[in-house]
Amino acid sequence: MAGEFGGLRPASYDGVVIFKRVGDGRPYPAHGLGPRDWASLPPRPVRLDDLVTTKDTLQLDLLLDEDSTFFGDLFAHVVLWRDELYLEDGLHRALRAALQQRHVVHARVYEAGE
């Protein structure tokens, strides 16, 4: 029958999204920040639906790995540029937060200039 899939009707779309937009690449200028520079920025809560990703793919095995958030910074890295928040590092953390039905991730936010 039309509009049915395997006897089930598909769930309606309620307009809820995880991210503001899925991007591919970093549109902002190179900032040259290293791990110590990022560590000096205090973490703050950032809404997932305010973030634009800089990657359009992810490795599912890393998302599901228990150690995927063990190494590296505990917080996502976000670049604020031209009034947009770009998720530079931490896509796996952000998606884990979404899967746990959280709408916020804690991130270190760098405000980039022109």
Is the confidence at residue 10, as pLDDT, over 60?
A: no
Residue 52's Cβ-count burial label (10 Å; 0-12, 13-18, 19+) is middle
Task: Report residue 7 as tokens.
Answer: 């006897």
Report pLDDT for 79.
97
Predicted confidence band of residue 11 (pLDDT cuts 50, 70, 90): low
Q: How is the chain split into domains, by residue range?
A: 21-111
The yes or no reply on domain 21-111 and CATH 3.90.1150.10 is: no
Query: What pLDDT, in 10s, does the model give residues 27-82?
Result: 999 999 999 999 999 999 999 999 999 988 877 776 666 655 555 668 999 999 99
Q: What is the pLDDT of residue 95?
A: 87
Which of 35, 47, 51 is closest to 88 using CA atoms? 51
